[in-house]
């Protein structure tokens, strides 16, 4: 006779609910308790039947994940982290790409509702009403990279303000005072947070921001290249550039090299994301945001909410970033 979850609970000296949380990685369990439960599972040879559990709870065993784009490194890394955690917890993921289109995002929501998913992760949702419509149907939701108008949902994001502040402070500590920024579109919460971090770091150093040293890109390498050409055309060009994404920084570095500038002896660069910064020439100093941890935590919170244990996590979950120094920064010339 196959051992049951009750047998595991009895062997470990815990409740069946605790065993369930360990199996699904869906709630707060101390490391000591987790080890006891895992040892009991091993000793008894217990095998978890995720499908049977889903049927018993009248669930589909499916989670939806809507991303604005699978181009570039960030979207795929988040999608992989969400799916890996979901699979470990006995769920399958339906990944939807909104293609940066509000209409496509609405269609994605309708498809996932029709498929009777147990919950949905929204990565950087385009329209707040789409998120709210899902919640109004009683379907659990977790947001990655929130909008300001969905702050009342459970959300997970990087400390974009703190990461940007640290990046600019690094340049200031090297002696730079004329520091440019290539932003991403300011209709996104994370873009505003990174801009605010840049501005605060300058302000704390007693430096006023200069409009001609701020250019907006679209996260692409080409827009970074274009912004850098504008900076190079200034009568007094910047000695350092902080870019709100690695692709922007890499495009800007290319434009600097085309202008026969040496990096970092003539000009320094810092990016954000740490997605493919090591591939830049020279390797790019950048702000590492914990994409794996963000996706994993988002999936855990969603599954906890599906299982009725969402209160074990706070609504706001902001994970720290850290600066990874490489070879693209140095003191200002002269």
What is the DSSP secondary-structure string of 33-99? HHHHHHHHHHHHT----HHHHHHHTT--SEEEEEES--SSSHHHHHHHHHHHHHHHTT-EEEEEE-T
Predicted confidence band of residue 285 (pLDDT cuts 50, 70, 90): very high
| CATH architecture for residues 160-289 | 3-Layer(aba) Sandwich (3.40)
For the record, the structure tokens of 189 come out as 């919460």
For the record, the structure tokens of 30 come out as 């101390």
Answer for the pair 19, 53: CB distance below 8 angstroms, yes or no: no
Judged against a pLDDT cut of 80, whether residue 55 lies above it is answered with: no
Distance CA 302, CA 309 (A): 9
> For the chain, what percent of residues have pLDDT higher than 70?
93
Strand partners, 271: 286
Closest among 87, 154, 92, 156 to 118, alpha carbons compared: 92
**pLDDT score for 158:** 95
CATH 1.10.260.40 domain span(s) along the chain? 5-48
Distance CA 105, CA 112 (A): 11
Answer for the pair 2, 47: CB distance below 8 angstroms, yes or no: yes
| CATH architecture for residues 5-48 | Orthogonal Bundle (1.10)
User: Dihedral through CA 255, CA 234, CA 266, CA 166, nearest 10?
Assistant: -90
Q: How many residues does the chain have?
A: 334
Predicted confidence band of residue 56 (pLDDT cuts 50, 70, 90): very low
**pLDDT score for 218:** 85
- CATH no., domain 60-157+291-314: 3.40.50.2300
For the record, the structure tokens of 322 come out as 């850290």
The DSSP element (H or E) to which 128 belongs, if any, is helix 128-136
Residue with tokens 């902080």: 242
Phi, psi of 243 (to 5 degrees): -110, 140
Judged against a pLDDT cut of 60, whether residue 51 lies above it is answered with: no
Angle in degrees, CA 244, 248, 253, rounded to 5: 120
Distance CA 271, CA 247 (A): 8
Closest among 323, 274, 245, 246 to 77, alpha carbons compared: 274
User: Dihedral through CA 142, CA 148, CA 151, CA 152, nearest 10?
Assistant: -110
Q: Across the chain, which distance is largest between two alpha carbons, in Å?
A: 82
SS3 content of the chain, % helix, strand, coil (to 5): 45, 15, 35
Answer for the pair 5, 46: CB distance below 8 angstroms, yes or no: yes
Distance CA 182, CA 195 (A): 9
pLDDT higher at 172 or 47: 172
Answer for the pair 4, 292: CB distance below 8 angstroms, yes or no: no
- Cβ-Cβ contacts under 8 Å for 65 (sequence gap 6 or more): 79, 82, 83, 93, 94, 95, 96, 120, 121, 123
Closest among 145, 165, 4, 175 to 82, alpha carbons compared: 145
The model's pTM:
0.80
CATH 3.40.50.2300 domain span(s) along the chain? 60-157+291-314, 160-289
pLDDT digits (tens, 9 = 90+) for 143-175: 998 776 777 789 999 999 999 999 999 999 999
Judged against a pLDDT cut of 60, whether residue 290 lies above it is answered with: yes
């Amino acid at each position: 006779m196959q051992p049951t979850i009750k047998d595991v609970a009895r062997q470990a000296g815990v409740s069946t609910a605790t065993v369930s949380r360990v199996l699904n990685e869906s709630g707060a369990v101390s490391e000591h308790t987790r080890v006891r439960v895992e040892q009991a599972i091993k000793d008894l040879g217990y095998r978890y039947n995720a499908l049977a559990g889903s049927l018993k709870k009248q669930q589909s065993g499916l989670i939806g994940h809507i991303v604005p784009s699978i181009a570039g490194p960030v979207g795929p890394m988040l999608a992989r982290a969400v799916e890996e955690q979901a699979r470990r917890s006995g769920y399958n993921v339906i990944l939807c790409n909104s293609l940066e289109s509000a209409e496509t995002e609405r269609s994605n929501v309708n498809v996932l509702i029709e498929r009777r998913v147990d919950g949905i992760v929204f990565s950087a949702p385009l329209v707040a009403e789409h998120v709210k419509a899902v919640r109004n149907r009683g379907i659990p939701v977790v947001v990655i990279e929130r909008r300001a108008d969905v702050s009342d949902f459970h959300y997970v994001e990087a400390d974009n303000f703190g990461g940007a502040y640290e990046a600019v402070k690094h340049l200031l500590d090297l002696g730079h005072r004329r520091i440019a920024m290539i932003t991403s579109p300011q209709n996104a919460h994370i873009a505003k947070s990174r801009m605010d971090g840049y501005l605060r770091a300058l302000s704390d150093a007693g430096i006023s921001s200069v409009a001609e040293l701020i250019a907006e890109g679209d996260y692409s390498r080409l827009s970074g290249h274009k912004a850098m050409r504008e900076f190079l055309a200034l009568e007094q060009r910047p000695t350092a550039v902080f870019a709100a994404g690695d692709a922007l920084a890499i495009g800007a570095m290319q434009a600097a090299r085309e202008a026969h500038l040496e990096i970092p002896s003539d000009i320094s660069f810092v990016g954000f994301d740490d997605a493919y910064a090591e591939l830049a020439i020279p390797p790019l100093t950048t702000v590492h945001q914990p994409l794996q941890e963000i996706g994993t935590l988002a999936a855990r919170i969603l599954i906890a909410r599906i299982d009725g244990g969402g209160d074990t996590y706070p609504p706001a979950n902001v994970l720290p970033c850290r600066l990874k120094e490489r070879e693209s920064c140095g003191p200002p010339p002269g």
